[in-house]
Amino acid sequence: MAGPDEVKVSRRLVVGGSLAAGLLSGMAAAQTPPPAASGGVSPGLPQPVETIDLWLRGAPDAPAKALVETVNERSTDALVTDRAVFGISRPRMAVFRPDRPNGAAVLIMPGGGYKWVVVDKEGYEMARWLTARGFTAFVLFYRLPGEGWGSGPDTPLIDAQRAMRLIRHRAGDFAVDPERVAAMGFSAGGHVCASLSTRFAVPVYQPVDAADKLSAKPACAAPLYPVISMDPAIAHAGSRALLLGPKPSPGQEMAWSPDQTVPADAPPHFLLHAEDDDAVPVENTLRLHAALRARKVPVEMHLFTHGGHGFGLRKAVGKPVEAWPDLWRAWARTTVLG
């Protein structure tokens, strides 16, 4: 979870351009572009050239004051970007297509403590890893709950449900089997992921088109070093405050703690955490694991002694936790992802 002192460069980006109609007709319409990199992009690394806006007529429950999408570039290395985005008013997915699709897809929800969405470290880097193995990857730029949206703490879940449905609706455009769409999230994005995997059937927004007739249930889910519990004893304080405000009731804490909302038909889960995580205590994953087992939902959990928080791919190199993506891939083969 990065703080203001880590922000090296701040660049305001007003997202412009018109939105073309016809997304749901199966055509690839012109969409809001992904956030740019102020210092350029790393040579040789695939960048998304295709995006899918979630709401062509505007996101629901908009705040009274218009948001300005802002990109903070936190890296001082010209070859490594580390962008964090907030003020997202046009939630969208950046699409990464593999050269040889295997028919499966993964919706990726980066973290950022609900303060922002971390584009590279927990988004694009994982998308590249997945596409190299045949998966079509969709990196979700979800709206942040503390930025005045009328839907409050349900705002990220609304975008996650809508994203899952849109992927299924357009599965044919991406050579994807609509029954083989997984969810993966990191840190606060892990909370979005776990909310989706436990509250996929909860109606949190008014349907807007045919896509909303489809299921939002992931084929399987991987909340990684996730924010789970809103119990102040183990909650990530920043995420809890931005999600629920300074003084949530016990009922609110329970309602937005995915370990308290696991249904019997939840999808299989892959859980991962480092025991020395000093930002999101490992008890978050332990509670979700216990809740899944209590409901007899298939779950695999991996705990590492060392790794800290927010390791993603780049910070895992050279440590035992570096093995986690291959562990996920081996587990995924036991699910419908194959």
Q: What is the pLDDT of residues 61-85, one digit of tens each?
A: 999 999 999 999 998 887 888 999 9
Closest CA to 71 of 85, 58, 82, 61: 85
The pLDDT score that the predictor gives to residue 47 is: 86
- For residue 98, pLDDT beyond 90: yes
What is the mean predicted confidence (pLDDT) over 179-189? Answer: 98
What is the mean predicted confidence (pLDDT) over 178-203? Answer: 98
> What is the per-residue pLDDT across 254-306, written as a single tens digit (0 to 9) for each?
999 999 999 999 999 999 999 999 999 999 999 999 999 999 999 999 999 99
Give a yes or no: residue 102 inside a domain: yes
The pLDDT score that the predictor gives to residue 77 is: 84
- How many domains are there within the chain? 1
Give a yes or no: residue 299 inside a domain: yes
CATH value at residue 137: 3.40.50.1820
CA distances from 176 to 74, 165, 179, 285, 330 (A): 34, 13, 9, 30, 20
Rg (CA), the chain: 18
Residue found under tokens 């929800």: 109
- For residue 21, pLDDT beyond 90: no
> What is the per-residue pLDDT across 191-237, written as a single tens digit (0 to 9) for each?
999 999 999 999 999 999 999 999 999 999 999 999 999 999 999 99
Give a yes or no: residue 314 inside a domain: yes
- Alpha carbons 23 and 90: distance in angstroms, whole number: 15
Query: Which residues, listed in sequence order, are joined to residue 241 by a DSSP beta bridge?
Result: none
Contact 269, 146 (CB under 8 A): no
- For residue 253, pLDDT beyond 90: yes
Q: Is 190 left (phi over 0), alpha (psi -120 to 50) or beta?
A: alpha
What is the mean predicted confidence (pLDDT) over 236-257? Answer: 98
The residue range of the domain holding 297 is 46-66+85-332
Closest CA to 89 of 144, 171, 40: 144
Q: DSSP class of residue 281?
A: -
CA 36 to chain centroid:
19
Which two structure tokens, joined as six digits, stand for 235? Answer: 């909650």
Backbone angles phi, psi at 77, to 5 degrees: -95, 120
Give a yes or no: residue 73 inside a domain: no
- For residue 5, pLDDT beyond 80: no
The pLDDT score that the predictor gives to residue 79 is: 80
Give a yes or no: residue 35 inside a domain: no
The pLDDT score that the predictor gives to residue 31 is: 84
For residue 19, give the 3-state DSSP assignment: coil
> What is the per-residue pLDDT across 124-141, written as a single tens digit (0 to 9) for each?
999 999 999 999 999 999
Which two structure tokens, joined as six digits, stand for 290? Answer: 């216990």
> What is the per-residue pLDDT across 30-39, written as a single tens digit (0 to 9) for each?
589 887 766 6
Closest CA to 254 of 153, 156, 186, 159: 153
Query: Which residues, listed in sequence order, are joined to residue 118 by a DSSP beta bridge?
Result: 84
Give a yes or no: residue 282 inside a domain: yes
Give a yes or no: residue 75 inside a domain: no
Give a yes or no: residue 23 inside a domain: no
